[in-house]
Structure 1
Amino acid sequence: MHDGSGLIAVQNLTKQFGSVTAVQNLSFTVSPGSVTGFLGPNGAGKTTTLRMLLGLVKPTSGTATINGRPFHQLGRPGRVVGAVLEAQGFHPNRTARNHLRVYASAIGVPDAQADQVLGLVGLSTAAGRNVGGFSLGMKQRMAVATALLGDPQVLVLDEPANGLDPEGIAWLRNFLQSFARMGRTVLISSHLLAEVEQTVDQVVIVSRGQTMYYGPLEHLRQQQQRRVFVQPSDVGALATALREAGVQALEQLPDGRLAVSGVDAKQVADTALRAGVSVYGIQEEQADLEQIFFRLTSGQFAGHAPAPYQQQQGGWA
């Protein structure tokens, strides 16, 4: 482990390309010890933000720092941060080991690191094979191996699950979580929440270059109003009893069930019992994160984005 916290801080970050604002006043932090998902639809400004963080694009205003410094002030950046921005260009006739040794010498680490990182990504048996013959999934693993050469404290991956088969995705999930548990920082971008939902602990959701939500994934789940579907013997009597108990969000469905928002199944069943109404069926609807994600990023989200970021008014039409 290296000294330094591994903290990523993005503050009021803005990038304009001519008249196009790719990133607008974006702020979030990524702490060590967790996997953070940087999520948003294609064109939301994710890659531009990562490129600014990695010193490849100059911000119009605001800052993106690692350990309190912009990338170009990190001294030996390969030892601090490892990044995979797109499936790297590999020389097809170079073996996996030789490819990694070229990179190792470029960042000043011993040749032996090449074999070590091949082991970490499960490619030891392919070390002597030419990269040109690798599958897309193996190339993704090679890209991760390249990012790991300097034993970095921060790992930044842009769409890492692209082209991975289910086994590869399971491997990536386990790898990133164990990497984070060592007290390191992991930031991964994706345009699909479902793809990284099992992997990430924290999420930063962006749309049109702005932060729509930033915080634990669990809080996002809890923010959503649960709905309970109940099949009572007397819909009118149960609806009245629920309203008297202070529950206003009721909807009678065509199939005779009642949809109740903002309470759990136990509360609905207890209210029915007190009102002398029989319950023939009761079911709780879990928040569908994909749906939440879609609402947050399509500008149709009617509620409030959870703290610490409230959705800004205007500009979402």
Structure 2
Amino acid sequence: MTSGLWQGAYLEVHGLTKQFRSTIAVNNLSFAAPPGSVTGFLGPNGAGKTTTLRMMLGLIRPTAGTATVGSVPFTNIADPARAVGAVLDSLSLHPKRTALGHLKVYAAAIGVPDTRAREVLGLVGLAEVANRRAGTFSLGMRQRLALATAVLGDPPVLILDEPANGLDPEGIAWLRDFLRSYAKRGGTVLISSHILREVEQTVDNVVIISRGSLVYQGALDALRGANRSRILVAASSPFGLANALVAKGITDAHMVPDGRLAVAGLTKEQIDSVARSAGIEVFGTALDSVDLEHVFLQLTSGQFAAQHAPPPQTYSPPPGYYHGPTDGVPR
């Protein structure tokens, strides 16, 4: 089942704020998730991710700001299940309904044929347990059934809260392939997580929040590039090697506490060549790879979030991008 104009839509949040009495759960948050990619919505537990997703889906009224799907608020979309598939809680499945029975109920509600229920069970790897009751499912199987429910209407947009929760490594690899394939078709995928490592191989872009505020938005490769790997060099004269590198125009080299020289932007062979020319002996080298999870923890620390939060950013749709017809359904 594929709609004639199956194409993702920009998910956009502008100045979104939610205050519960004296607590500000989300604070002037702006970001966008573009079509054709998987965007990770990241932050520690309690950062405001689920509250933001609920506001995007019209389940919570924001104190201020707007959230739109293809420039249209979700509550104004005429046929929401065919526009946005969402999973916010996989534990709400009726325990006595079979997987197939559960999907047939939803299929009838959104106006798709029963055959679609069996089709999506196959898509998520649950075809063999179609007649088992959801109450007997593991957490990972319940996650798959919830995802099947989200894609039942073949929506061009997916919004998923912690979709890898409860999945084993094989399940996480399957989910990664599924979501990337969805985005490759032109879909828009937004997934939340409090663990960067869990989604690092899945997402193209990241939106990182802490205490309800934006601390980073951009391509994952840019985050990785800004914190690039370096080579740690044990040498007979670390300072002499640093001076030799400076003479070659390499200034990204500095001492680390254990006495080695950390060099970025060069290969091991290039460092060895500079050392030989300067008459310096290299005893050994080691690659110090970027730990993005460590970077993520730094970004979401209270001190960093307070001092380095960027101004709100938005994406501009590409020239000719169609925001949606007058009936409010993003295409």
TM-score (norm 2): 0.86
Q: Which amino acid aligns with 1:67?
A: G
Root mean square deviation, CA, Å: 2.2
Deviation per residue, 1:205-247 (Å, 9 max, x gap): 0011111111110000000154321122333422332354462
- Match of residue 237 from structure 1: 240
What are the residue-to-residue correspondences of 1:97-108 with 2, within 5 Å?
97-108=100-111
Percent of paired sites with the same residue: 58
- Match of residue 48 from structure 1: 51
Q: Secondary structure at the match of 2:53?
A: helix
Q: Secondary structure at the match of 2:95?
A: coil
What are the residue-to-residue correspondences of 1:276-295 with 2, within 5 Å?
276-295=279-298
- Match of residue 142 from structure 1: 145
Residues 1:198 and 2:201 are matched in the alignment: yes
Instruction: Note the C-alpha offset of 1:306.
Output: 8.3
- How far apart, in 2, do the equivalents of 1:187 and 1:133 lie? 29
Question: Any conservation in 2 of the 1:11–1:26 contact (CA below 8 Å)?
Answer: yes
List structure 1 segments (4+ residues) > 4 angstroms apart after TM superposition. 243-246, 302-309
Question: Any conservation in 1 of the 2:229–2:290 contact (CA below 8 Å)?
Answer: yes
Question: Any conservation in 2 of the 1:48–1:57 contact (CA below 8 Å)?
Answer: yes
Q: Which amino acid aligns with 2:197?
A: A
Q: Which amino acid aligns with 2:34?
A: S
Pairs aligned (count):
307
Q: Which amino acid aligns with 2:98?
A: T
- How far apart, in 1, do the equivalents of 2:256 and 2:205 lie? 36
Question: Any conservation in 2 of the 1:213–1:306 contact (CA below 8 Å)?
Answer: yes
Q: Which amino acid aligns with 1:149?
A: L
- How far apart, in 2, do the equivalents of 1:63 and 1:99 lie? 33
Question: Any conservation in 1 of the 2:214–2:309 contact (CA below 8 Å)?
Answer: no
Instruction: Note the C-alpha offset of 1:248.
Output: 6.8
- Match of residue 62 from structure 1: 65
Deviation per residue, 1:59-83 (Å, 9 max, x gap): 1111100011111111010000010
Name stretches of at least 5 consecutive residues in structure 1 with no aligned partner: 310-317
Q: Which amino acid aligns with 1:279?
A: V
Deviates more, 1:15-24 or 1:268-277: 268-277
Q: Which amino acid aligns with 2:26?
A: V
What are the residue-to-residue correspondences of 1:58-97 with 2, within 5 Å?
58-97=61-100
What are the residue-to-residue correspondences of 1:168-187 with 2, within 5 Å?
168-187=171-190
Residues 1:264 and 2:258 are matched in the alignment: no
Instruction: Provide closer, same or farther for how the CA distance between residues 187 and 269 of structure 1 changes in structure 2, counting only shifts above 3 A.
Output: same
Q: Which amino acid aligns with 1:264?
A: L
Question: Any conservation in 2 of the 1:220–1:306 contact (CA below 8 Å)?
Answer: no
Instruction: Provide closer, same or farther for how the CA distance between residues 172 and 226 of structure 1 changes in structure 2, counting only shifts above 3 A.
Output: closer
Question: Any conservation in 2 of the 1:136–1:164 contact (CA below 8 Å)?
Answer: yes
Deviation per residue, 1:174-200 (Å, 9 max, x gap): 111111111101100000001111111
- How far apart, in 2, do the equivalents of 1:252 and 1:121 lie? 48
Deviates more, 1:38-47 or 1:89-98: 89-98
Q: Secondary structure at the match of 2:164?
A: coil
Residues 1:36 and 2:53 are matched in the alignment: no
Instruction: Note the C-alpha offset of 1:110.
Output: 1.4
Name stretches of at least 5 consecutive residues in structure 2 with no aligned partner: 314-331
Question: Any conservation in 2 of the 1:2–1:153 contact (CA below 8 Å)?
Answer: no
- Match of residue 134 from structure 2: 131
Q: Secondary structure at the match of 1:50?
A: helix
Deviates more, 1:296-305 or 1:206-215: 296-305
- Match of residue 17 from structure 1: 20
Which of these residues, 293, 297, 301, is aligned with residue 298 of structure 1? 301
- How far apart, in 2, do the equivalents of 1:106 and 1:54 lie? 18
Question: Any conservation in 1 of the 2:237–2:280 contact (CA below 8 Å)?
Answer: yes
Residues 1:109 and 2:112 are matched in the alignment: yes
Q: Secondary structure at the match of 1:49?
A: helix
Instruction: Provide closer, same or farther for how the CA distance between residues 280 and 61 of structure 1 changes in structure 2, counting only shifts above 3 A.
Output: same
Question: Any conservation in 2 of the 1:264–1:284 contact (CA below 8 Å)?
Answer: no
